[in-house]
Amino acid sequence: MRDERRSIEELSEERRAQQRQELADKRAHRQKGRHGLVIVNTGNGKGKTSAALGMLMRSWGQGMRAVMLQFLKAQTGNWGEIKAARRMGVEIIPLGDGFTWESENLEHDRALAHQCWRLCREKIESGQYDVVIMDEITYPLQYGWLDLEEVLAVLRARRLEMHVILTGRDAPEGLIECADLVTEMREIKHPFERGIMAQKGIEF
Ligand code: ATP
Ligand code: MG
């Protein structure tokens, strides 16, 4: 009887040790596992979109599903990144109409921005992507064309493993607060100041 009780105690101690190990394994797995990040590339210096493209390329190389939606880039533009994406079989979707401050039809730009946001929302909510990039989204947010609270709500409700990257100058405070990784590109020199025009492979 005493031996039997001892063996039950031993067994339950063994079970507890096993449970402790299982918990530790789960914790370690969670730490190693994917944690979706909200990433913001902002500031007045060059490199916000380029850095996002670098992450698009990295994630593509890892066999992840990635998409970049561009709020300002003209649909007719045959940029280097669009040509590369076509060859790689990666989705880059330009939905803008050039730069807004050059545009004469703000209503048209506002409608385009809404159309682009609807598609971003659809892509995020589909849960079918590992990385969703919203390039130059800060501008329609600044102009008040898009509702920041709605954008934040969609970000918060996304699939936990999904990374979302947002680019553009003057990222709003609320977006910075919500983000996990925020980088500010700061301009020190730009060739444009010396009248040097945009260079192929560097700017487009
Ligand atoms: P990139 O697409 O090269 O990573 P970016 O996304 O950081 O740049 P944006 O703020 O989106 O840059 O600006 C769009 C373009 O305007 C870029 O090609 C950039 O080089 C150019 N630009 C940035 N600063 C200046 C400046 N001071 N004068 C003229 N052009 C500029
Ligand atoms: Mg940019």
**Per-domain boundaries in the chain:** 1-33, 34-186
Determine if the pTM surpasses 0.85.
no
User: Which amino acid is residue 106, in one-letter code?
Assistant: L
- 47 within ligand 1 shell (Cβ under 6 A): yes
- 73 within ligand 1 shell (Cβ under 6 A): no
Do 113 and 71 form a contact (C-beta atoms < 8 A)? yes
Do 100 and 109 form a contact (C-beta atoms < 8 A)? yes
**DSSP helix/strand/coil, 96:** strand
| pLDDT for residue 29 | 55
- Considering the segment(s) 34-186 as one domain, its CATH architecture is 3-Layer(aba) Sandwich (3.40)
- 98 within ligand 1 shell (Cβ under 6 A): no
Nearest alpha carbon to residue 167 among 83, 79, 48? 48
Q: Using 50, 70 and 90 to split pLDDT, how confident is the model at 9?
A: confident
Which of 39, 44, 46 has most ligand 1 atoms within 8 Å of its beta carbon, as the pocket-test mutant? Answer: 46
By alpha-carbon position, which residue is closest to atom 16 of ligand 1? 46
Mean pLDDT value across residues 63-80: 89
- 15 within ligand 1 shell (Cβ under 6 A): no
